[in-house]
Amino acid sequence: EFHCLIQNGHQLSVHNSRENRFAKEIARDAPEVWLGSAKFGRTAQFEWSDKTPFNFKGWKNGQIPVSKLIRPCTKMNVTSGEWFQSCCRIVAPYICQKDSQPNKSYTSNIQKSYDTIRTNDKYSIVNQQWRFLVRK
């Protein structure tokens, strides 16, 4: 999340099956990828780091896993698109997203600095190495 925050973004939040498929597609070169979901603070519920509603769940077998991890985070199995819990300290690829609203001057600088790799109606990938998405 830190690397996404310094770019005025967050790790990816997924709100429907279409976004889940899109995340799976852009992360296809990795076996698994971090999403921006964890149990933050004292809550027993998973939340998105960008504070958007946790209104879609892609858990393996449709069940939120029970874990004894102190702070479980969420990864996606890129082959299946299913989510699972993992220790937040394990290094793995991740996907960042950010608003592309023109009121943030940094966004236009990012877009000028990198070529768009792939797009759909909601996201543009502007840096393939970081898997950085700009939310349209």
Closest CA to 58 of 11, 28, 24, 93: 24
pTM beyond 0.85, yes or no = no
CA distances from 15 to 5, 54, 80, 113, 131 (A): 20, 7, 17, 28, 18
pLDDT digits (tens, 9 = 90+) for 13-64: 999 999 999 889 888 888 998 999 998 777 678 899 999 999 999 999 888 7
Closest CA to 106 of 4, 19, 13, 12: 4
Closest CA to 48 of 34, 36, 64, 32: 36
Query: What domains, with CATH codes, occur in the chain?
Result: 2-135 (3.10.100.10)
Assigned token pair, 111: 């877009």
Burial of 113 (0-12, 13-18, 19+ CB in 10 A): exposed
pLDDT digits (tens, 9 = 90+) for 50-82: 999 999 999 998 887 777 766 789 999 999 999
Contacts of 100 (CB under 8 A, 6+ apart): 107, 111, 124, 134, 135, 136
Comparing 63 with 117, which gets the higher pLDDT? 63
3-state SS track over 83-134? EEEEECCCCCCECEEEECCCCCHHHHHHHHHCCCCCECCCEEEEECCCCEEE
